[in-house]
Amino acid sequence: MENAPLPNIEARFHAYAEKLSTALGHADRVEPFQAYCTGLLLPVERKSVEPMAAQLAPGQVSAKHQSLHHFVAKASWRDDAVMRAVRDYVLPKMQGQGPILAWIVDDTGFPKKGKHSVGVARQYCGQLGKQDNCQCAVTVSVATPHASLPVAYRLYVPQEWVADRVRRTRAGIPEEVAFQTKPEIALEQLRTLTKTDTPKGVVLADAGYGNDSEFRRGVRHLNLSYVLGIQKSTKVWPPGTEPLPPPEYSGCGRPPKLPRRSLQHTPVSVLKAAQDLPHNAYRTIAWREGTNKILSSRFAAMRVHEGHRYYWRSDRPPEEWLLIEWPEGEPEPTKYWLSNLDAAISREDLVATAKLRWRIERDYQELKQEIGLGHFEGRGWRGFHHHATLCIAAYGFLVAERSSFPPSGPDIRSAFTLPQIPEGWKPRGSADQAGAT
């Protein structure tokens, strides 16, 4: 029977939670850990502490609320230990359907009102598609051909928070947390991941990371392959061009090593490099099947050398791929990538690798809409990261279960029993309750 394993899903979930709970440090944390993860998987609209407490313990809402709140906001268990346990359990299940292909770097925003939630500031929020008041977290996900899982997660702390002693103390930001840009946070996460036994994948990221030359250089120094988005203004040396050699040695002082600078001899933007290519350099390539059609576009690829601040470099940057997407009918290319993948790779494989980054969008969508990643209502550093770790733990179970089913298999979340909340119960702050007071 195709869906035979489904009736045992709650038993398998409890076994999974039992295995993960060994990373918590104390036995008295096992029950709230399992309860919190169960609440995140229940098909209810809001996944903050109070609504979950009402669903999990209808007759003891207050006690359950207190237990869950203490566990997520106060208890001092380590996020990295639980994330490691999730990774160790889920990745082998994912690999049963295919090898790890990519490590996907990205960030996600959570719109917030006020100014007291940890790290909140006016900044770009991808969920809203504009600058607004929000929190942002940097993540790394591991992806196979059929599944992906976040394995690193950390809040981005804006400069004004780092410098404000009162705010950071109130929010519980650890002393060792200094200001880092998002690419710096991501590079640290990648560096940590390389020290584990996680199979390596091609690092994928959009232009928010790939346009940072130090990030690209840092990924190379970790001996990782990458396909990284860049902006159209990024400078490169097209095929057949390179910096002018250093001036001739005059015999005095140290021999010059830096290339000569010339207004007439400089690298060009990737936009100009793309526009200089002949029309037949672009060809249509399909990379995957979408919801209603096969996804395809026009692409060109050429071998280039990075041209950023070339006049301060005595070494010649390595040759790499510049991949360009120029859809039919568009006035100019829409996307660009730099990649240090093998020179012999086919254009089809290069495109397919670059486009694998879409999986991170699916992770974020499901974590937010189905698991409740953005529903945490606390203000502190510890609670923010604990809630995210528990969301990823719950999501990891779904990923592991789906790895045992075909894509058209059953909705796993619907197998969890939904308790009945007490009649007449209203969460704090609801319209009805506010009217009663």
Is residue 238's pLDDT more than 80? yes
Q: Are strands 148-155 and 294-306 parallel, antiparallel or unpaired?
A: unpaired
Alpha helices in 281-343 (DSSP H): none
Tokens of 426: 């209203």
Please tell me the distance from the alpha carbon of residue 145 to that of residue 98, in angstroms, as a whole number. 6
User: How far from 39 is each of 11, 164, 282, CA to CA, in Å?
Assistant: 15, 35, 50
Please tell me the distance from the alpha carbon of residue 147 to that of residue 207, in angstroms, as a whole number. 23
* Domain boundaries of the chain, sorted by first residue: 6-206+360-436, 230-241+258-340
Closest CA to 62 of 74, 54, 70: 54
pLDDT at residue number 11 = 85
% of residues, the chain, pLDDT over 90 = 65
Give mean pLDDT, residues 138-145: 96
Listed in sequence order, the residues at least 6 apart from 102 whose beta carbon sits closer than 8 Å to its beta carbon are: 142, 143, 201, 202, 203, 204, 353, 356, 357, 359
Contact yes or no for 62/50 (Cβ under 8 A): no
Reported as a single tens digit per residue, the pLDDT across 185-231 is: 999 999 999 999 999 999 999 999 999 999 999 999 999 999 999 99
DSSP state of 240: T
Give mean pLDDT, residues 90-110: 95
Reported as a single tens digit per residue, the pLDDT across 275-296 is: 999 999 999 999 987 777 899 9
pLDDT at residue number 396 = 96
Please tell me the distance from the alpha carbon of residue 80 to that of residue 340, in angstroms, as a whole number. 30
Q: Which residues of 75-105 are buried (b: 16+ CB within 10 A; e: fewer)?
A: bebebeebbbbbbebbbebbeeeeebbbbbb
Q: Is 240 left (phi over 0), alpha (psi -120 to 50) or beta?
A: left
- Total residue length of the chain: 437
Reported as a single tens digit per residue, the pLDDT across 301-324 is: 999 999 886 666 656 788 999 999
- What are the DSSP E strand ranges found in 144-186? 148-155
pLDDT at residue number 9 = 83
Alpha helices in 298-372 (DSSP H): 347-355, 359-366
Is residue 179's pLDDT more than 60? yes
**How crowded is residue 5: how many other Cβ atoms within 10 Å of its Cβ?**
15
Reported as a single tens digit per residue, the pLDDT across 7-59 is: 588 888 888 988 898 899 888 888 999 999 999 998 888 899 988 999 888 88
Reported as a single tens digit per residue, the pLDDT across 335-377 is: 999 999 999 999 999 999 999 999 898 899 999 999 999 999 8
Please tell me the distance from the alpha carbon of residue 318 to that of residue 237, in angstroms, as a whole number. 11
Q: Which residues of 16-35 are buried (b: 16+ CB within 10 A; e: fewer)?
A: bbeebbebbeeeebeebbbb
More confident residue, 396 or 253: 396
Pick the range with the lowest mean pLDDT from 238-242, 261-265, 331-335: 261-265
Torsion of CA 354, 356, 361, 364, to 10 degrees: -120
Q: Is the pTM of this model over 0.95?
A: no
* Counts for the chain of helices (H) and strands (E), in that order: 15, 12
Closest CA to 398 of 383, 384, 409, 387: 409
